[in-house]
Amino acid sequence: MPIEWAGLGPELLLTLDRSRPEPLRAQLERELREAIRSGRLATGERLPSSRAMATELGVSRGLVLECYSQLQAEGFLVAASGSATRVAAPAVAPAELPPRPAPAGRLAVDFLPGVPDLTSFPRRDWVWALRESCRDATPADLGYGDPRGAASVREVLAGYLRRVRGTAAQPEQIVMCAGFGQGINLVLASLAQAGMRQVAIEDPGDEDYDVICRRLGMEAIPVAVDDRGIDVDALASTGARAVILTPTHQFPTGMALAPDRRQALVAWANERDAIIVEDDYDAEFRYDRDPIGALQGLAPDRVALLGTVSKSLAPALRLGWIIGPPALLEPLTDEKLLSDRGSPTLEQLALAALIRSGRYDRHLRHMRRVYAARRETLIRALAERAPRVALHGLAAGFHAVADLADGAAEPEIVEQARARSVGLYGMSSYRLREPSGPPQLVLGFGNLSGAQVERGIEAIAELLR
């Protein structure tokens, strides 16, 4: 039964309830704090003596005294010795929160690129790996550790990347980080520290780099990408001494950087004393051949490689790594230390356990089959329902580029598809310098079942014709 008390008038209503697990003293403190915050008890107002309030509420006087003393220590009440206890704090009702934009309505089928299959996350393997790591972590592993990450993890990862991505890196060159999102911040901040003022980026590509660069006092310079990857001559004609690239599977065009361009790029980097930032985001999923080795393996002193489990396991793990070229290691480590003192250790140890046990490879093999099947479904559905739409960029990963008919209006198709509850994304939204260009769609199919792919293409086929 709640006791209600309004001894100072109806505006001060205190409610205590003995049937709740919360101790009475905590209830009384909370009620008084809220009465003060809400202005029901105003600044300077006198509270009843502890004896009077104890009698009214049917609690001990000691309880009321403790409660008054607590609220005094917190600055809500003042009590000069011998005089009454009064409300000290100005009444502060928390301001209204700014309204948040309403979340967008859910789409029946969303071809948003960059999202892996979230239903295939290997929950059981991950729990197994976490259990291993919680069991095996030493007390030192649980403290503030090396900002680069646990040494054992960097060793496992260096070996894994050497085997699977053809990299040439010592464990000492690896800095564990919170996914690509943090990794690119750390690398760009290190470049800024090293005095770089211009960073070339791929166009079409990701426009987020522009914001990050500007905040670091640098300029992002878009450089054209064609069907053989970035135009190295155009890159050389800028003053930039750093470039961010997706050489294995360009995002969003889906092309691999051509062999002679790889060589020209490395030659450029050696000549200019430049750094190549390699975003190795989805290289695990190549369908027609083995994945092309990372550029880092070709020029270990010139390349900072960024890898992540966001596509191979799940974005929500926020787990990634940087392979730093020797010259950047010290600033990279300092940046990581300053940013967050290091990434969570148990998840790093879990990733190492997953790799060492072979479960990571097994999961990747499984996902390669899953994505290959979805890719086939997409190719078939388009061939059947919109045969004049050409697809490319499909050698790897889980997005494709669809060429629309000449003169097709990209934004209108995107808008009409949305009215049919299908999310489409036009190439123009990735074009940085020239918003116009041949009309194209970037179709992500990683997080869509085969049935969803079919349904989505069926719903929009007439728009594509």
How many CA atoms lie less than 13 Å away from 370 in the CB half-sphere? Answer: 20
Q: Which residues, numbered 153-172, are part of the site for a copy of itself (CB under 8 A)?
A: 162-163, 166, 168-170, 172
Nearer to a copy of itself, 189 or 382 (CB): 189
Stretch that binds a copy of itself, among 10-18, 276-284, 345-353, 364-372 (CB under 8 A): 345-353
Structure tokens of 373?
A: 């099947």
In the complex, minimum distance from the CB of residue 360 to a copy of itself, in angstroms, rounded to a whole number: 15
Q: What is the residue type of 387? A: P
Instruction: Count CB atoms within 10 A of the CB of residue 443.
Output: 26
In the complex, minimum distance from the CB of residue 63 to a copy of itself, in angstroms, rounded to a whole number: 12
Nearer to a copy of itself, 361 or 403 (CB): 361
Q: Which of 109, 221, 255, 299 binds a copy of itself (CB under 8 A)?
A: 299
- The bridge status of strand 77-79 relative to strand 85-87 is antiparallel
Give which of 336, 328, 334 is closest to 300, Cα–Cα: 328
Question: Does residue 26 interact with a copy of itself by CB under 8 A?
Answer: yes
Distance from C-alpha of 450 to C-alpha of 188, rounded to nearest angstrom: 39
In the complex, minimum distance from the CB of residue 283 to a copy of itself, in angstroms, rounded to a whole number: 11
Q: Which residues, numbered 304-343, are part of the site for a copy of itself (CB under 8 A)?
A: 314-319, 325-327, 329-330, 338-343
Triad 316, 306, 433: Cα angle to 5°: 95
Stretch that binds a copy of itself, among 71-79, 152-160, 233-241, 402-410 (CB under 8 A): 71-79
Stretch that binds a copy of itself, among 129-137, 234-242, 379-387, 422-430 (CB under 8 A): 129-137
- The bridge status of strand 390-392 relative to strand 320-323 is unpaired
Q: Where are the alpha helices (DSSP H) in 144-258?
A: 151-165, 179-193, 208-215, 232-237
Q: Which of 41, 53, 68, 182 binds a copy of itself (CB under 8 A)?
A: 182
Nearer to a copy of itself, 96 or 406 (CB): 96
DSSP single-letter state for residue 428: G
Distance from C-alpha of 290 to C-alpha of 35, rounded to nearest angstrom: 68
In the complex, minimum distance from the CB of residue 208 to a copy of itself, in angstroms, rounded to a whole number: 8
Question: Does residue 377 interact with a copy of itself by CB under 8 A?
Answer: no
Q: How far is CA 170 from CA 9, 132, 157, 321, 352, in A?
A: 73, 25, 10, 13, 16
Distance from C-alpha of 266 to C-alpha of 314, rounded to nearest angstrom: 32
In the complex, minimum distance from the CB of residue 359 to a copy of itself, in angstroms, rounded to a whole number: 14
Using CA of residue 232, residue 234, residue 240, residue 245, what is the dihedral sign? negative
Nearer to a copy of itself, 160 or 404 (CB): 160
Question: Does residue 361 interact with a copy of itself by CB under 8 A?
Answer: no
Q: Which residues, numbered 75-114, are part of the site for a copy of itself (CB under 8 A)?
A: 75-76, 78, 88-90, 92, 94-98, 100
In the complex, minimum distance from the CB of residue 378 to a copy of itself, in angstroms, rounded to a whole number: 20
Nearer to a copy of itself, 246 or 440 (CB): 246
Nearer to a copy of itself, 339 or 428 (CB): 339
In the complex, minimum distance from the CB of residue 362 to a copy of itself, in angstroms, rounded to a whole number: 14
The values of phi and psi at residue 161, to 5°, are -70, -30
Q: Which of 135, 273, 288, 406 binds a copy of itself (CB under 8 A)?
A: 135
First-to-final CA distance of the chain: 70
The secondary structure of 47-63 as a DSSP string is: PPPHHHHHHHHTS-HHH
Question: Does residue 298 interact with a copy of itself by CB under 8 A?
Answer: yes
Using CA of residue 421, residue 122, residue 143, residue 336, what is the dihedral sign? negative
Nearer to a copy of itself, 208 or 384 (CB): 208
Element (H, E) at 230: strand 229-230
**In whole angstroms, what separates CA 98 from the centre of its chain?**
24
Site map 27..66 versus a copy of itself, x via CB under 8 A: --xx--xx--x----------------------------x
Q: Which of 111, 126, 371, 398 binds a copy of itself (CB under 8 A)?
A: 126
Question: Does residue 118 interact with a copy of itself by CB under 8 A?
Answer: yes
In the complex, minimum distance from the CB of residue 426 to a copy of itself, in angstroms, rounded to a whole number: 20
Give which of 289, 239, 234, 292 is closest to 265, Cα–Cα: 234
Structure tokens of 62?
A: 């000691």
Site map 260..289 versus a copy of itself, x via CB under 8 A: x-xx--xx--x------------------x
Using CA of residue 59, residue 63, residue 69, residue 73, what is the dihedral sign? negative
Nearer to a copy of itself, 225 or 404 (CB): 225
Q: Which residues, numbered 186-225, are part of the site for a copy of itself (CB under 8 A)?
A: 208, 211-212, 215
Structure tokens of 152?
A: 């054992």
